[in-house]
């Protein structure tokens, strides 16, 4: 079995500062990319989450701009 630290999806997740997983949810590659990105966080590298376009706003966000 391939070492997860050596595969392309893991490396892609580990090397990116922005969280952007291009693989299909539930696929082996998706999981490996997640592992790489979470290892990046655990090792103290900074990471930025990419905001989702259809993210629900909180009650506070909706009513503070009125």
21: Cβ contacts below 8 Å, ≥ 6 apart? 13, 30, 33, 34, 37
Q: Is the pTM of this model over 0.75?
A: no
Is residue 16 classed as helix, strand or coil in its secondary structure? Answer: coil
Q: How far apart are CA 4 and CA 33, in angstroms?
A: 10
16 vs 61: which has the higher pLDDT: 16
Q: Tell me: the pLDDT tens digits for 8-59?
A: 999 998 888 788 888 998 899 999 999 998 888 888 876 665 555 656 667 7
Main-chain phi, psi angles of 55, to 5 degrees: -65, 135
What pLDDT is attached to residue 1? 46
What pLDDT is attached to residue 41? 84
What pLDDT is attached to residue 30? 92
43 burial type by CB count under 10 A (0-12 exposed, 13-18 middle, 19+ buried): exposed
């Amino acid at each position: 079995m391939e070492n997860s630290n050596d595969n392309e999806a893991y490396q892609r997740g580990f090397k990116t500062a922005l969280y952007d997983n291009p693989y299909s949810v539930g696929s082996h590659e998706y999981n490996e990319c997640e592992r790489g990105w979470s290892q990046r966080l655990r090792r103290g590298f900074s990471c930025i989450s990419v905001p989702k376009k259809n993210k629900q706003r909180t009650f506070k966000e909706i009513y503070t701009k009125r």
